[in-house]
Amino acid sequence: MADPVGGIVRLVPGPAAKLDPTKDKSAEPKAEGGFGEMLSEFVGGVNNLHHGAADIQESFLRGEPVELHQVMVKAEEAGVATELLIEIRNKVLEGYNELIRMPV
């Protein structure tokens, strides 16, 4: 996994990239979007989970061949994602309020 000769290997999920401190940073591509775009994508993903859960519930109620455990798993996934979204919102607001209260 790690190069025995040099460089630091990235240990987080994602594309494997060696970090080279001598490399010119201006030549690297800039990160697009940022936190706002990431949050927007997450909200869209939570919305899609809720729509998927509603669709499978409707299919179950119409009598289509859908297992009850699939309905429950989809509903639980949507619920957990919503709880995570609420906690992220709470932490962001808590951080914002703390920044506002800081003396200048």
What is residue 50's predicted lDDT score, i.e. its pLDDT? 96
pLDDT in tens, 28-83: 555 577 888 988 999 999 999 999 999 999 999 999 999 999 999 999 999 999 99
pLDDT in tens, 79-99: 999 999 999 999 999 999 999
| CA 100 distance to own-chain centroid | 26
User: If you search the block for the tokens 């800081």, which residue do you land on?
Assistant: 102
Q: How large is the average pLDDT for residues 5-10?
A: 46
Q: Which of 41, 5, 7, 46 is nearest to 23 (CA)?
A: 7
User: How far, in Å, are 16, 42, 56, 60, 89 from residue 86 at the CA level?
Assistant: 32, 12, 24, 28, 5
Alpha-carbon gap, residue 94 to 73, rounded angstroms: 31
What is residue 104's predicted lDDT score, i.e. its pLDDT? 81
What is residue 31's predicted lDDT score, i.e. its pLDDT? 59
- Do β-strands 18-19 and 8-9 pair in parallel, antiparallel, or remain unpaired? antiparallel
HSE, side-chain direction, 13 A CA sphere, residue 25: 3
